[in-house]
Structures are given as structure tokens and as C-alpha cells.
Amino acid sequence: MIPRYSRPAMAAIWSPANRYRIWFEIEALVAERQGQMGQIPAEAARIIREKGAPVIAAISEADIARIDAIEAEVRHDVIAFLTWLGEGIGPEARFMHQGLTSSDVLDTTLAVQFTEALDLIDQGLARVCDALKARALEHRHTVTIGRSHGIHAEPTSFGLKLAGHWAEFARGRRRLAQARREIATCAISGAIGTFAHVDPSIEAFVAARLGLAVEPVSTQVIPRDRHAMVFAVLAVIAAAVERLATEVRHLQRSEVREAEEFFHPGQKGSSAMPHKRNPVLSENLTGLARLVRGMVVPALENVTLWHERDISHSSVERVIGPDATIALDFALQRLGGMIEKLLIYPERMAANVEALGGVVHSGEVLLALTQAGMTREAAYAAVQRNAMAAWTRLGTPEGRSFRETLLADPAVTAHLDAAAIDRAMDPMLHLRHVDATLARVFGDAEPQPGDVDGG
């Protein structure tokens, strides 16, 4: 992932230095357990740890270049690392990697990296959820127009709209937690996964020290359905990012302008048009979400490996593992900040509710007429007739509001007087259950920051 969309904390997880740190930790733990079991000299295990740890702690770009140079000769990344590490440890280095295969180190390391990466992504999700909850409660009674098919439908609460997005991201956090449990798996089972040259207790020892579970049955690799599930969950979260970003993009349109991204002092919207205030953050989020979703299919295709192992998955994971997590981590932090500072215009929302002359209240008028004794078919015809009359003449000299057309229709006034029509056209009717809905979503009327369990 390019630096533009990389946060340092996430990029560090996928850096060569961190990867080699985890490789060493696995090798040192295996040696320690083997020393305890008498399979290698205990003194050798101690020296591997004591001499190797400072070498890894001080690893530099020059050291990484040295490992790369060795790999260019031997054509094997793990062997190159062990050769370089052995130069710093000395003769006892021959006791490293006893009974292991490269995938033991690579796959267990990948599990550690994913758990670290998913923890950072969860922090981003928590920020988004906290921002959405705060803004939802702030605007629980802010009336806005609900839209279906992009067309004005009926009034709703802007807080309720945001609460719906909160619930989606809360589900994403639960799915992410499950995916983390599945990926946090260790395999130290040797060639073909038979434990022919490494005792299963060594695997359990390493797993416990690294905070991982033991892979119940590995081949020479950890099964890739675990990894595919991670990418699937990341993609679903990315879809939630894009859904919210698309909503903001629409609300910021000049014709709508119900909300917009914060415009920083000194910010420029266009090189040619100084008046422009563009939804650049939400457009950027839309693009990043598409990128993350695009990595699901390669992850699914990685599930099918030949027999006990091949490396067709390796090149794919070296790209999509860092890129998917780095992109989503960046996107979530950007989205959280965007929602925290989102500019919201209740007056504009109220004006848009009535922008079509009141026809958005047709449903309530329909119900009022049926409750007053009119058949549904006759009521629907009367309401639609008057709504279309108001809508099609909107903004013309002969135009009248929906209320005015209703009051001029004898079929309507035979059942409803002006006061009844006004009651039916009160937008606050649509918000009468908002507090109860938000309590159901958040679990309490005044939820605490970081709470994503729901009711």
C-alpha cells in the first residue's frame, strides 16, 4: 500500500523488521521447549535467545538488505533469515529450526500479524461507532426526509439514519472478533503436518506464548478458509464504509446540502472554481472500500491448494494481507474523523421535507381518510390525485400546496377538516417512536462511548 493511505502503526505490522522479529520469536520458543525436553542442549536454547534477541532488536535497513542478498543467492526467504541470524548467534544456531518446515514459521507469523492488524482495525471501528452514536443521539429529534429510489418518501429522524449505520458497524465488530478468533491459529507440525520431527507439545507451547490457538489439523500449511473468512469480513466492513460515505456524498450535493464534510481553513476545493466544497473524504473512502472488497476473490481462490501444500497462495497473501488491512485501517480512521466533524444543517433538512409542497405527508393523509370512513381505494385515488396536482404544478404561477389541493377537494373535506389535515401533515408524527428505537439499538437511552453490544 502506498504511504498516502498507510498509518504508521498498521504499516509497521507488515514491515520486514516486525516479520523477522516474529520469526525469531517462534524459532527461539521452539528451541526453548526442545531444550526443556532434552531434544537439544538447554544451553544452546539459552544462547539462541540471549544472542539472537539483541540482534533482532537492533535490526536495520542494512541487515534487511543483507537478508535480501542472501535470499537472492539461496532463493529461500526463511533459509536466508536463518543464515543471517546464525551469523549473530554463532555455532549454537545449528539447533534452530529443528524439525520445522518453513510454513510453520510463515503461517504462524501471518497469524500473529493478522491478530495485530485486526486489533487496530477494531480500534478504527470503535471510533466510527462512537462518532455515529454521539451524532445519532445529538440529532435524534432532527427531522429529515427519508428517500426511497432516491425520491422523497416520508420524514424520518436524522439520528435514526445514523443509528442504522452504527448498527451495521457494530455487527462488523462482532464479525471481526469471530474472524480474529479463527485466524489466531498456530501450526508447528513439521513437513506435511505429521509431527514426524517435532513433538505436538512444542506447538502448544509456542501457541500459548504467542496468544494463539493450536491448528487442530494442519497439512503443511494452515487451511486457507480461515484467511478467506478474514478477507470476507474486511470486505463487508468496507461495504459499510462505502454505504455511509455514499450517503454523505448525496447529502452534500448542492441541490440537497443537508450535511457536508468539514471544510478546513485554508482548504481549496478546486484549482479552477474557488467556490467548490467537494466531498473529497467520502469519495476517497468509496475508492478505498472498492479496493478492499476486490481482495476477497483472490483470498477465496487461495483456499484450494494442491494436496498438502503448494505456494500459489503465498504471492497473493504478500500483497493482499498488508494492502487490505492498511487500506481499511486508514479508511476507518478517516471515516471516524469525518463523522465527528460532519456539518449538519437541520434547517435545510426541514426545508427539504416541505420542498415538494407537502406531498411527502400523503401516507398519513391516506390513513386519516380510511380511519374517517373512506374506502382505501377511494382514499388512495383522492390522495394521489391531489398529490400529483401539487407536484406537477410546483413552482408555477398556478401551483398550490398539497394542503391547499386537499382542502379544495370535496371528496377529502367530506371526511377531514383543516385541523385533521394539519395533524396528518405534522412531520413529528414520524418521530414519536425514535427514542424507543434508539434505546433498542444502543441498549439504553444514554449509551456509553465504546458500547457496541446493542439491546
Pairwise CA distance, residues 4 & 6, whole Å: 6
The gap from C-alpha 239 to its chain's centroid, in whole angstroms, comes to 8
**Annotated catalytic, 149?**
yes
Pairwise CA distance, residues 249 & 283, whole Å: 7
Here the contacts of 86-92 (C-beta below 8 Å, separation 24 or greater) are: 88/51, 88/52, 88/55, 89/47, 89/48, 89/51, 89/52, 89/55, 90/47, 90/51, 92/41, 92/43, 92/44, 92/47, 92/48, 92/51
Pairwise CA distance, residues 283 & 335, whole Å: 11
Read off φ and ψ for residue 150, nearest 5 degrees. 80, 5
Q: Is the dihedral of CA 245, 251, 253, 259 positive or negative?
A: negative
Find the helix packing angle between 158-183 and 434-442, rounded to 10°. 10
Pairwise CA distance, residues 56 & 221, whole Å: 26
| Residue of 60, 148, 149, 254 marked catalytic | 149
Pairwise CA distance, residues 400 & 307, whole Å: 75
Q: Is the dihedral of CA 183, 223, 75, 194 positive or negative?
A: positive
Confirm if 109 and 19 have CB atoms less than 8 A apart. Answer: yes
User: Within a 10 A sphere around the Cβ of 184, how many other Cβ atoms?
Assistant: 18
| Residue of 201, 270, 312, 315 marked catalytic | 270
Confirm if 386 and 405 have CB atoms less than 8 A apart. Answer: yes
Tell me the chain's radius of gyration from C-alpha atoms. 30
The C-alpha torsion from 437 through 441 and 445 to 451, rounded to 10°, is: -170
User: Looking at the annotation, which residues are catalytic?
Assistant: 149, 270
